[in-house]
Chain A
């Protein structure tokens, strides 16, 4: 098949292998995917998919601000996401429905600020394309100077997750079980949101704020459909996230030849691959009977519907 031939040709295509932007994309994109997938497993188990998506969208205000102030976009995304995370955790609400409402309102507030900053970007700096870049990212246009701080951010959030592994798991199952063992449930929740902010800002510079959700929720959802234990779910999600991102980068590079003149965006390939894998996971043996997810996330779901 022509597509297969093109793909393998690219792999040995010296231009692809030698291209510096591709290197950066693979390193930063792969790192972002890895971090997001790992944290995403916890996010999905805790029933906080909306919060994860909201943090990503709100971080776009930070991205827009960074263009305005001339600071590093990574810093901009990160600070905004962290602020939003703190804000969401501070407004302490028990009922899941009301929590979603607050998440949405905070999201609306953040987006209105993003609207303003992007508008100011265009008028003051005449930065056209700001909206598209901030929202949808530009995988092949990541400046090499970002690689080191990005990897530091990624390592930091993975470290946070490793430290919080057992308390986070326990508070997923039942916050009271965790509290009894002296786990600061609110602190754990806040730290989870901070780890989320780190992951989201990493993604924002690669696939854009809006599509960070794909890397956060997608691999995690696929892994949780298949794996029975949280540990294997995390490993599987990380594997899926990284492979899907690298495949997306490769396909996007290829696509310059498919429609002459411009390539298809990496985010499109990433999302399509994730969606296809998710549907395929539905046919995994053990899922055919309709059993839903691991035991832990079933209980967590029951919690979040309370």
Chain B
């Protein structure tokens, strides 16, 4: 697939908090129109990485360039686990409109241009049926669609989503993934989406960034999701099993088995402290 220019470039990023290092020398790039999955278990540093890209967190080392400039330009962001106030008098379309001009001073006077943009965005995420409902009344999948619309209305070139598929039912997951893929290919946006399970994303992922032990391996799914690569990341012997197009990453049964398996394996395994 023909992809556009580099939208996100992460180079040698290290982030640590008092007590432990979360990200070590993480580097990868995402191009326009690419769908990139950021995969890792809970606590692997996915949220930290996304927050660092957004500029909420300063890295100890390394550099992040978005859209050719350092320091974030317009990035669309869908945060993790947003708990929406059920009593807040705000409709879906109001929240999407705030994505357009949420930082502007003054009262929002009715504007045809804004209404057209909001309507277009709502229809792009298929949120028209619940456009006039309160955001607190929406189901999990509906909320995600509205938040995606909110993030995309300013036409950013990069869209970050932090665990958008957690707590969604299977049908909603498929719907969101399909929506994001469509937006990615039709509008040439670069999508970086974090998840702990890569399987729903396999059909649409162009690139994968796999996080484990603070280290990252990036590339295509075939390049990265292999026993040798993941074993190197984890410092532990893992087997990758493919069943009906789905992927299972299985660790060795015990440390002894891992050592035995690694001693048979000619590939050098990096020391993970």
Contact = CB atoms under 8 A, between A and B. Distances in A.
Contacts of B18: 289-290
A97 B85 contact: yes
B87 A306 contact: no
Nearest to A101: B87
A306 B82 CA distance: 11
B270 interface: no
7 contacts: A95-B85, A95-B86, A97-B85, A98-B87, A289-B18, A290-B18, A306-B83
Interface in A231-281: none
Contacts of B86: 95
Contacts of A290: 18
A135 B229 CA distance: 70
Nearest to A97: B85
Interface residues on B, range: under 10
A289 to B, nearest CB: 6
Interface in B74-125: 83, 85-87
A94 to B, nearest CB: 11
B52 to A, nearest CB: 19
A95 B84 CA distance: 11
Interface in A266-306: 289-290, 306
B178 to A, nearest CB: 31
Nearest to B85: A97
A290 B19 CA distance: 12
B4 to A, nearest CB: 41
Contacts of A97: 85
Interface of B: 18, 83, 85-87
Interface of B is mostly: loop
Nearest to B18: A289
Contacts of B85: 95, 97
Contacts, number: 7
A88 B18 CA distance: 41
Interface string A98-138: 10000000000000000000000000000000000000000
A98 B87 CA distance: 9
Interface string A189-203: 000000000000000
B49 to A, nearest CB: 22
Nearest to B87: A98
A290 B18 CA distance: 10
B223 to A, nearest CB: 39
A164 to B, nearest CB: 30
A290 B83 CA distance: 27
Contacts of B83: 306
A293 to B, nearest CB: 16
Nearest to A98: B87
A41 to B, nearest CB: 27
A98 B86 CA distance: 10
Q: Rank and list the top 7 A-B pairs by shortest CB-CB distance, nearest first.
A: A289-B18, A97-B85, A98-B87, A306-B83, A95-B86, A290-B18, A95-B85
Contacts of B87: 98
Nearest to B86: A95
A289 B83 CA distance: 30
A30 B270 CA distance: 63
Nearest to A305: B83
A290 to B, nearest CB: 8
Nearest to B83: A306
Interface string A65-98: 0000000000000000000000000000001011
A97 B83 CA distance: 12
A286 to B, nearest CB: 12
A306 B87 CA distance: 15
A53 to B, nearest CB: 23
Contacts of A289: 18
B144 to A, nearest CB: 20
A104 to B, nearest CB: 15
Nearest to A289: B18
A239 to B, nearest CB: 30
B82 to A, nearest CB: 13
A95 B86 CA distance: 10
A7 B200 CA distance: 74
B120 to A, nearest CB: 33
A306 B85 CA distance: 11
B146 to A, nearest CB: 20
A47 to B, nearest CB: 16
A248 B263 CA distance: 72
Nearest to B19: A289
B25 to A, nearest CB: 25
Contacts of A306: 83
Contacts of A98: 87
Nearest to A290: B18
A247 B1 CA distance: 78
A98 B18 CA distance: 35
A39 to B, nearest CB: 30
A38 B120 CA distance: 59
A97 B87 CA distance: 11
Nearest to A291: B18
A98 B88 CA distance: 11
